[in-house]
Amino acid sequence: MPIGPDLAGRVALVTGASRGIGRAVALALAEAGADVVVNYRDRTVEAEAVAAAIRGLGRRALAVAADVADSEAVARMVARAEAQLGPIGILVNNAGIALRRDIEALTEAEFDRTMAVNLKSAWLCTQAVLPGMRARGWGRVVNISSGAARNAGVMGVHYNASKAGLEGLTRGYAARVVQDGVTVNAVAPSLIVTEMIRGREKDLARAIPLGRLGRPEEVAQAVLMVAGNAYMTGQTVQVNGGMLFN
């Protein structure tokens, strides 16, 4: 039995895949054999570059602009992706925003937008691809959570709530689709080198027992692990250099 996943013949959709963790996940899935839909909202040049890199690995790729917090945009994205690449068998809900706000400064609009992008989008995308996964008897959903679902974090209560909700969504779906051949898991990175924490790397690294920040590729390794495991579902995998244990 091979240790690494063989995703040849599978089509993966990665939301928020133009940079950072999403980019690393998209490339890792392609390296494992999957064709990849690279979702993005505004960064066309970066998304097309990711798609080009995937094609350079010998896989098919499609960059699709869509606000995944909008149900109609999600429906159009999935329809276009499946028409061009085939049925989506792997969904990685990575899209998210991280507005750093203190309690007193947080506005209702900012709270609502955070919940829409970080939590509602995962529900919309899962609802869009799940019927096909269940009908075919195979599917993998991986939600990118955060250590902030379980500790104070550095962004604010809105971010905490969105990521905690994402882990609840993970368990709720996992319990209901496991007998259909579909697994649903979460990967929860903390303090990864991305634009989200740029400029604060040295200060934040002091809080990590390992002594450094994580790399997007290390998060992608965890995503590949759960995508390749048919027996693991409803779990949250922590990727945080020893900051937090389950």
Nearest C-alpha neighbor of 149 from the set 128, 165, 129? 165
Q: Are 223 and 180 in contact (CB under 8 A)?
A: no
Element (H, E) at 49: helix 44-56
What lies within 8 Å, CB to CB, of 95 at 6+ separation is 15, 16, 22, 39, 41, 68, 117, 118, 121
Tokens representing 172 are 């709720």
- 231 in catalytic set: no
The one catalytic residue among 40, 159, 173, 231: 159
Catalytic residues: 159
